């Protein structure tokens, strides 16, 4: 800025333009200091609000009255800060008034007016630069309020989460108790199943031993029937060995001797065997009815018993046919020895054929 030649100065003092610059510089410095002070106050307020939040979380049930008083004092201070103008504004107004009073005598000078216009523009420029700082301070205050509201919401969410966590812990404890009870019940069921399986295995061993005894008895019966067949064959051989000149009277005599001999009736022995088998099968059937696979075992035993009865019936029928053939051969009148021999041979052949058919069928 061009310095005019009209630098009016009071006696013993600096020029007015320098003083105005100094005043404006001081005012700007005071405004910056006040801005820093305001920022520090805002930061202190934010810190105090954080401390209040922490105190509210810690002692919200014990010191509510004291906290309300402190909040009242804080609100009063905030109201004072809002309503009371800053010191730099008051001092700036006083300086401006003093400058205005001193500038009145020279208010009509063009050069001084030009200088004052430049100073005014500079002041306006400085104020324009200070306005963003004020806006930022206001934004900072708004952000602090937003942070405080978010902290309150976070506290509410934390309280709700604490309640939910308590419920979840309770549910988990109940679930653990149910799991333990279920484990104990499963262990008891497994033990009972193992005991039942052991009983089933023991019963199966008993059934197997009884079936083995039944097989032995059937084999003994088969051996006895084989012995009867051997005796019949020996009897047939003896009949074939009879002399050709055997008379009818001799035959009648021998038949009488045979009739006088005690007859071995196999019916009683077979009845006893049938009773014993029925008793054994009854005991096995009672044991098998309690078994899970009793149907298969009953079917197997039924097949075995039916096969045994069929074999007995066939062998008894063959025995009866052989006896009848021998009786007919002995009682038939034979004019010639050849015819008697042929009859005996045919009866023997028929008996052996029946025996072979019975063996093949069994």
Exposure string over 333-348, b if 16+ CB within 10 A, otherwise e = ebeeeeebeebbeebb
Q: What are phi and psi of 334, to 5 degrees?
A: -120, 100
Q: Is the dihedral of CA 130, 134, 136, 140 positive or negative?
A: positive
- Give percent of the chain with pLDDT exceeding 90: 0
**Strand, helix or coil at 20?**
helix
pLDDT value, residue 250: 62
Mean pLDDT of 210-220: 72
CA-based R_g, the chain, Å = 67
Counting other chains too, the contacts that 350-358 makes at CB distance below 8 Å and 24 or more residues apart are: 350/321, 350/322, 350/325, 351/232, 351/236, 351/318, 351/321, 351/322, 351/325, 354/317, 354/318, 354/321, 354/322, 355/229, 355/318, 358/311, 358/314, 358/315, 358/318
For residue 184, is pLDDT > 70? Answer: yes
Which stretch, 55-64, 78-87, 230-239, 317-326, has highest mean pLDDT? 317-326
For residue 160, is pLDDT > 50? Answer: yes
pLDDT band for position 346 (50/70/90)?
low
For residue 267, is pLDDT > 50? Answer: yes
Contacts with 298 (C-beta within 8 Å, 6 or more apart), sequence order: 285, 288
Contacts with 41 (C-beta within 8 Å, 6 or more apart), sequence order: 81
Global pTM reads 0.26
Mean pLDDT of 34-58: 80
pLDDT value, residue 116: 66
For residue 196, is pLDDT > 60? Answer: yes
pLDDT value, residue 334: 46
Q: State in Å, rounded, how far the first CA of the chain is from the last one.
A: 143
Identify whether the C-beta of residue 255 lies closer than 8 Å to the C-beta of residue 330. Answer: yes
CA angle 76, 77, 79 (to 5 degrees): 65
pLDDT band for position 82 (50/70/90)?
low
Computed over every residue of the chain, the mean pLDDT equals 68
For residue 152, is pLDDT > 70? Answer: yes
- Domain layout of the chain by residue ranges: 16-159, 200-361
Please tell me what DSSP assigns to residue 9: B
pLDDT band for position 20 (50/70/90)?
confident
pLDDT value, residue 360: 56
Which stretch, 8-12, 107-111, 152-156, 251-255, has highest mean pLDDT? 152-156
């Amino acid at each position: 800025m061009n310095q005019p030649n009209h630098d009016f100065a009071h006696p013993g003092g600096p020029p007015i333009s320098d003083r105005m610059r100094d005043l404006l510089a001081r005012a700007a410095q005071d405004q910056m200091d006040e801005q820093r002070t305001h920022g520090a106050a805002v930061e202190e307020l934010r810190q105090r609000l954080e401390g209040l939040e922490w105190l509210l979380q810690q002692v919200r049930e014990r010191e509510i009255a004291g906290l309300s008083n402190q909040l009242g004092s804080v609100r009063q201070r905030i109201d004072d800060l809002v309503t009371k103008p800053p010191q730099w504004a008051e001092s700036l107004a006083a300086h401006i008034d003093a400058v205005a009073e001193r500038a009145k005598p020279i208010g009509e000078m063009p050069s001084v007016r030009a200088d004052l216009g430049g100073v005014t523009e500079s002041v306006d420029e400085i104020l324009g630069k200070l306005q963003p700082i004020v806006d930022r301070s206001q934004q900072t205050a708004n952000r602090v309020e937003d942070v405080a509201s978010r902290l309150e919401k976070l506290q509410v969410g934390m309280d709700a989460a604490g309640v939910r966590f308590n419920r979840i812990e309770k549910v988990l404890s109940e679930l653990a108790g149910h799991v333990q009870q279920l484990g104990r019940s499963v262990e008891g069921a497994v033990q009972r199943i193992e005991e039942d399986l052991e009983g089933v295995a023991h019963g199966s061993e008993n059934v197997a031993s009884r079936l083995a005894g039944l097989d032995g008895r059937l084999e003994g019966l088969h051996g006895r029937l084989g012995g009867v067949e051997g005796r019949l064959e020996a009897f047939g051989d003896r009949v074939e060995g009879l002399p050709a000149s055997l008379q009818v009277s001799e035959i009648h005599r021998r038949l009488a001797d045979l009739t006088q001999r005690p007859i071995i009736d196999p019916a009683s022995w077979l009845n006893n065997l049938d009773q014993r088998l029925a008793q054994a099968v009854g005991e096995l059937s009672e044991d098998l009815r309690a078994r899970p696979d009793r149907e298969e075992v009953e079917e197997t035993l039924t097949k075995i018993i039916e096969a045994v009865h069929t074999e007995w019936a066939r062998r008894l029928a063959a025995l009866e046919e052989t006896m009848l053939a021998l009786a007919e051969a002995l009682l038939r009148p034979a004019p010639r020895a050849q015819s008697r021999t042929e009859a005996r041979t045919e009866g023997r052949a028929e008996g052996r054929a029946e025996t072979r058919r019975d063996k093949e069928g069994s």
